[in-house]
Structure 1
Amino acid sequence: MSLTLLTQLADFPASQWDALTPDTSPFTRHAFLSTLEESGCLGKGTGWQPEHLLWCEKGQALAAVPGYRKAHSRGEYVFDHAWADACQRAGIPYYPKWLAAVPFSPVTGGRLLGEAAAGKKLLQAIPDFLHQQQRHSAHINFSDAHTHAIMQDEPGWLLRLGCQYHWRNPGYRDFQDFLDQLMSRKRKQIRRERERVASQGFEFSWRAGHQLSEAHWDFVYACYANTYAVRGQRPYLTRHFFSLLAERMPEAIRVVLATRQGQAVAMAFSLAGGSSLYGRYWGCLEEFNHLHFETCFYQGMEYAIAQGLSRFDAGAQGEHKLVRGFEPVITESWHLLRHEGLHDAVADFLRQEREGVHAWAEEARLALPFHRPA
């Protein structure tokens, strides 16, 4: 029995990795994670060095965790910058740390992949791994119920909660059927927003990965990169990432293009898996009123209804999603901090934060636009 460190996913057979990932999320598939590595999104100079962990018995991998050595906390969406700043002031090293996550995507899913018993053994080997590799902490972000069941009784790990907003489709016949479930004022607001976009002459078309040319990908990347450029930041993903992903897993890709007078001006990039649609990236080349809401939210909701998908995860944060029918969903992450003083301080903070997150989620439900029971 052994814990094995894998520094590039290309060295491990895709069929064996995917056999450990029975969930329907596209984000833990070998094709997605290896594309991030091979397209230059991760690796030297990025602060993300692949350090995937495998638990092997008799030469066979029974469990795995997609992991990374981090030299910073960017691109994670579970924010620990304050912990790192406090360590710096106290003269305590915080980086490098080890992170189990999907890079640049705050999406819940499997983190301890494979058999539960083997996953537990892998988890119990992480403290020694941190000591041997001189990592100061371990973090498992946006974990699923399977991971929770394994981790909840493990000593030393601290649970952190967050809140996202997901849209549920209980079986709407069409978008109007969804609107009929809303209070009158909220229904009128959404109709007005959609009418204002339509009055500007916008048309929308959905395409799967195999329906997109390199010229399309040039446009998608230009829009994606522009969302970072307007904030003075560099994009996490490279242009090559999109072409390579389209080559490796075109069946999971969904892109909606917004055109006006025959010219594409905006897009939203999503992935589909199982019964879920995952909205990931949005961008536009010009600013138009309400175009963001239409392209990123209403188009995705309408697509989910048409395809019979039960859930639309449009990304992290965004209280403005509540009035559009996106419900609060509690997310989980787990943190193992080697420094005893830091562990105790963070544990106290997280106890208070968890109470606040639960309270906020309950309060947020009051902002949902659906009819109230009589």
Structure 2
Amino acid sequence: MIDKKTTATSNDYVIRVLDSPAEVAASAWNALLFSQPQATPFMRHEYLHALHASGCATPDTGWTPKFFLLERQGALLAACVLYLKTHSHGEYVFDWAWAKAYAQHGLAYYPKALCAVPFTPVPGARLLAKTQADREHLAAALLDFCQHQQLSGLHGLFASDNDLAAFEKSGLLLRHTVQFHWHNTTPGYASFDAFLAQLTPDKRKKIRQERRKVADAGVRFRVAEGCQISPADWEFFYRCYERTYLEHGNLPYLNRDFFTRMASTMPEDWLLFVAERNGQAIAASLIAINTSCAHAPQAAATQRVAYGRYWGALERVDCLHFEACYYQPLQWCIANGYQRFEGGAQGEHKLARALLPVTTTSAHWLAQPQFLAAVDRYLSAEREGIQDYLGALHQHSPFKSAMVD
């Protein structure tokens, strides 16, 4: 069993399990992260610490963090965060049916272990490691921890290719889902109009009509990047974000304190689009950009990527959501040489706006052997369905010549 403090393992590895990001050296964690080929800003120490310190992802909200550090002779070789979950909210890989099946058989599905970023369905590195061997040792340590803690299962969500290989070696099953991402061409579209020229006439016409509706309503956009985003901008964004959640009958996952911390500790990774009409701000879209990961001295070869994340509006304007969350960010990505824009989880409507379907993958292990076997059979059938779904989506590509990721 792995204790909270220090436990020796084979090959002179030492595993430490800590309860708070405050106990983890930020510089060592980020150095590991920035060396990963699929690094994202959502695994930065500052991001995870903000989730915890703001109260968004804590034991009180059903997210109990465990930070695993794999060391040899005091050197950090691998690290990850594992959350012990008492529910399945904020994950975007849905396992409600599995939890229901456990309950029907009188078994406890919670707590379970989750290797993921809370409330963030962005694919990327989860098991931060210097070598694949270190990554495999870390994955094995997670599984050993779950077994000794008698947790119902271990789930690694939206993991990188290297992570998935390590999880699979430890016996976890792979599950595929679909997201929609936009890709720039090589050497890159010369302009938004050049991008539109590659679309089929009906899709090009639809996008232009939607943009015209917003412009004809008198809406104009202001863009602020990094430290250009003022405290007043952050405050306005949060008003929009919170109101949109409340209008749908939900409290937002992320609170004002979390975004205040983002503005303070990692402003370079954020981009804000503010919609204004008659001199008044009426809506905002907050985009993440991987500036810190791509530009870090120890960064692996990393594309410049933007991530569609949060939005909200104080007024209703036809097609404003599409303009704020897709067209403005895509136009910015083209102008600034970004190679990819990730549109987040779900949403077939994104296909008509030139975000193409891509497969994302998670890894799963259940302690109960009969349920693990049942899930294995279920996932085999689900994978076939995913392939059929992808095939159908690609047949409706918005591009004049089909482009497949």
Normalising by the smaller structure, the TM-score range is over 0.9
What are the residue-to-residue correspondences of 1:217-366 with 2, within 5 Å? 217-273=234-290, 274=294, 275-366=304-395
- The CA distance in 1 between the partners of 2:15 and 2:244, in whole Å, is 40
CA contact (8 A) 1:55 1:119 kept: no
Partner of 2:195: 178
Residues 248-298 of structure 1, C-alpha deviations (whole Å, 9 max, x = no match): 011111111011111111111111013100110011112110000000000
Identity of aligned residues (%): 44
Helix, strand or coil at the partner of 2:61: coil
1:26 partner amino acid: P
Structure 1 distance, partners of 2:100, 2:156, is 20
Deviation at 1:247, TM superposition (A): 0.6
Deviation at 1:142, TM superposition (A): 0.1
TM superposition shift of 1:133: 2.3
2:15–2:70 CA contact under 8 A, matched in 1: yes
Letter paired with 2:31: A
Shift of 1:128: 2.1
Deviations, residues 11-46 of structure 1 (Å, cap 9, x unaligned): 111110011112441111111111111111111320
Aligned match of 2:396: 367
Does the CA-based 8 Å contact 2:136-2:169 persist in structure 1? no
The AA in structure 1 aligned to 2:117 is V
Work out the CA distance in 1 between the residues paired with 2:272 and 2:400: 32
Which position in structure 2 is the counterpart of 1:212?
229
Measured on the aligned residues, the alpha-carbon RMSD in Å equals 1.2
Give the one of 38, 56, 63 matched to 2:53. 38
Could you tell me whether the CA contact under 8 Å between 1:326 and 1:368 is conserved in 2?
no
Q: Give the CA deviation at 1:180.
A: 0.5
**Aligned counterparts of 1:38 and 1:63: Cα–Cα separation in 2:** 23
Contact (CA 8 Å) 1:53, 1:67: kept in 2 or not? Answer: yes
Shift of 1:54: 1.6
Q: Hey, what's the Cα distance between the residues in 2 that align with 1:111 and 1:50?
A: 14
Give the counterpart letter for 2:220 in structure 1: E
The secondary structure found in structure 1 opposite 2:59 is coil
Q: CA deviation at 1:213?
A: 2.6
Partner residue in 2 for 1:51 = 66
Does the 8 Å CA contact 2:111/2:152 hold for their aligned counterparts?
A: yes
Report how far residue 237 of structure 1 moved: 0.4
Q: For 2:71, what is the secondary structure of its paired residue?
A: strand
CA distance in 2, matches of 1:126, 1:180: 49
| Runs of at least 4 residues off by over 6 Å | none
Pair 1:92 & 2:107 matched: yes
Deviation at 1:153, TM superposition (A): 3.1
Question: What is the SS of the residue equivalent to 1:187?
Answer: helix
Give the AA of the match of 1:29.
R
Matches within 5 A, 1:7-156: 7-21=19-33, 22-23=35-36, 24-115=39-130, 116-155=132-171
CA distance in 2: counterparts of 1:51 and 1:221, whole angstroms: 29
SS of match in other structure, 1:334: strand
Is the Cα–Cα contact under 8 Å of residues 343 and 350 in structure 2 kept in the other structure? no
Whole-angstrom CA distance in 2 between matches of 1:122 and 1:372 = 43
Q: Distance in 2 between matches of 1:287 and 1:346?
A: 43
What's the CA shift for 1:144? Answer: 1.0
Aligned mates of 1:45, 1:120 — CA distance in 2: 31
Would you say the 8 A contact 1:9–1:34 is kept in 2?
Answer: yes
Helix, strand or coil at the partner of 2:133: helix
1:127 Cα deviation from its structure 2 partner: 2.6
Q: Which amino acid aligns with 1:82?
A: A
Q: Distance in 1 between matches of 2:71 and 2:220?
A: 52
- Structure 1 residue 112, shift from structure 2 partner: 1.1
The residue identity in structure 2 corresponding to 1:331 is T
Shift of 1:95: 0.4
Q: Structure 1: give runs of 5+ residues left out of the alignment.
A: none
Contact 1:4 1:54 in 2 (8 A): yes
Gaps of 5+ in 2: 1-12, 295-303
Length-normalised TM-score, structure 1:
0.97
Match of 1:201 among 200, 218, 230: 218
Cα separation, 2, equivalents of 1:82 and 1:52: 28
Distance (whole Å) between structure 1 residues aligned to residue 113 and residue 164 of structure 2: 19
The alignment partner of 2:77 has SS state of strand
Q: Is the 8 A contact 1:160 1:332 kept in 2?
A: yes
Partner of 1:367, secondary structure, is coil
Q: CA deviation at 1:126?
A: 2.2
Q: Distance in 2 between matches of 1:143 and 1:173?
A: 33
1: CA distance between counterparts of 2:20 and 2:274?
Answer: 34
Deviations 1:205-263 (A, max 9, x none): 11123122322222111111122212211111010111111110111111110111111
